[in-house]
Structure 1
Amino acid sequence: MRNVASTVYLVDDDERVRVALARLLSSTGYLVKPHSSAEDFLSHHDPAVPGCAIVDLMLPGMDGLGIQQSLLSGAVHRPVIFLSGRGDIPVSVKAMKAGAVDFLTKPVEASVLLAAVSHAMDRDLEARREGERRQSIEKRLASLTPREREVLTHVAAGRLNKQIAADLGTVEKTVKVHRGRMMAKMGVRTVADLVRLVSSVNAWQGKPSRPEPPTGVGP
């Protein structure tokens, strides 16, 4: 049974709905954490727990969209599936633009809900893997000396050792030493691997995938 260890946060003020959906999801192997209000959910929510959230749109107090915005404002990318007692196209469009996995109308068919949850779990797993990869790369970048970071930028831009040496005002032998240490710390063996890694970092930061190296100064 897939996603056995994944958690579904279920937020609905209707107890009958919570019980019915919790029973369905539990029977499929998910761990369900039910909440009757947005405030209760947010006070107990743990972003580190893998899974998704099924949220009723019309809640007393803070509504479903409020939950979504609260998570996003806290940089929490929890996949959210919205449930609504009526079709509301403008609201559903707003929710989907903000990253909702799906917007379903009550009463929802079991197969439709489970398919949406499965998709949400896949999205959560992918996001967590990407987050771990990003943290790993950032940790490796932080281990570089200022000179090694300069060399990295030049190498990723396709510069040869002798060109880098001229730009940085040093000798080629010194560049080779910095380059070797930099490649080892970054955990890459080829320039192509380094370029892909740098492109990922630049994409996260909204920078060009392969910027021109800075002009160098003396060692």
Structure 2
Amino acid sequence: MSGRAYLVDDDEAIRDSLGWLLESRGVACLSYRSAEDFLDEWDPALAGCLLLDIRMDGMSGPELFDILRERGSRLPVIFLTGHGDVPMAVSALKKGAFDFVEKPCNDNELVNRVIEALRLDANQRAAASGADSLNSRLGRLTTREREVMERILAGKLNKIIAEDLQISMRTVEVHRANLFEKMGVRTAVELAQLLAGRR
């Protein structure tokens, strides 16, 4: 499974038992005894999900959550709450937390939620990487190739494109072949499908 669970809880017994439980289901886990410790090691490239206790000595779970959001973190966050913390957890959900689980919790249910959060994170990263890849391909096109592409997407034939841009039909064919190669497509239909989400 890609990514890992990052467990932040100031209770050593909970860190040990949850860490063991996650590892037993094939989920890699790193534990931290405070929000500050996690923040020291946080990196925007971290993949996985965050299991975060609401009440801790020092910085609280919601405070860490707010700081991570300000820094652009998209890690799905599951809050671990005591009975009296439910209103705080609901407030965190409204701000974009993935879920909250009351302690003591059903072990398998918790791990299932962690696995769902890991899947969500992997899917979001794949989508972002696809968008980056598309942007990088578009960035390699010359101005003329972009002009030809816009007209291809508008359904214009090579002959019309040549008249529009006042170039020869042969030149249009060369630009067309180059832009198809750079975009990694074989046909105008594939090009339209690739760019459908952007238009």
Q: TM-score, normalised by structure 2?
A: 0.87
Q: Does 1:114 align with 2:95?
A: no
SS at match of 2:56: coil
Higher relative contact order structure (alpha carbons within 8 Å, sequence separation ≥ 6): 2
Look up the equivalent residue of 1:74 and give its one-letter code.
R
Residue of 133, 137, 145 corresponding to 1:140: 137
**Deviations for 1:123-165, whole angstroms, at most 9, x for unmatched residues?**
1221222222222212211211121122222322333323333
Question: Over aligned residues, Cα RMSD in angstroms?
Answer: 2.2
**Deviations for 1:20-44, whole angstroms, at most 9, x for unmatched residues?**
2112112222222111222211211
Residue of 173, 178, 186 corresponding to 1:176: 173
Q: What percent identity do the matched residue pairs reach?
A: 42
SS at match of 1:99: coil
SS at match of 2:18: helix
Look up the equivalent residue of 2:180 and give its one-letter code.
M
**Residue 36 of structure 1: aligned partner:** 33
Q: Does 1:197 align with 2:194?
A: yes
Q: Choose 157-166 or 138-147, whichever is displaced more.
A: 157-166
Give the Cα separation in 1 of the matches to 2:192 and 2:111: 40
Q: Do the aligned partners of 1:87 and 1:105 also contact (CA within 8 Å) in 2? A: no
Look up the equivalent residue of 1:72 and give its one-letter code.
R
Q: Do the aligned partners of 2:8 and 2:52 also contact (CA within 8 Å) in 1? A: yes
- Listed as ranges, the matches of 1:85-164 within 5 Å are 85-86=82-83, 90-164=87-161
Q: Do the aligned partners of 2:80 and 2:100 also contact (CA within 8 Å) in 1? A: yes
**Residue 214 of structure 1: aligned partner:** none
**Deviations for 1:23-69, whole angstroms, at most 9, x for unmatched residues?**
21122222221112222112112443432110112233433233333
Q: Which has the higher helix share?
A: 2
Q: Do the aligned partners of 1:101 and 1:116 also contact (CA within 8 Å) in 2? A: no
Give the Cα separation in 1 of the matches to 2:91 and 2:162: 53
Judging changes above 3 Å, is the alpha-carbon distance between structure 1 residues 154 and 64 closer, same or farther for their aligned structure 2 residues?
farther
Judging changes above 3 Å, is the alpha-carbon distance between structure 1 residues 117 and 156 closer, same or farther for their aligned structure 2 residues?
same
Judging changes above 3 Å, is the alpha-carbon distance between structure 1 residues 194 and 94 closer, same or farther for their aligned structure 2 residues?
farther
**Residue 165 of structure 1: aligned partner:** 162
Residue of 53, 58, 62 corresponding to 2:59: 62
**Residue 50 of structure 2: aligned partner:** 53
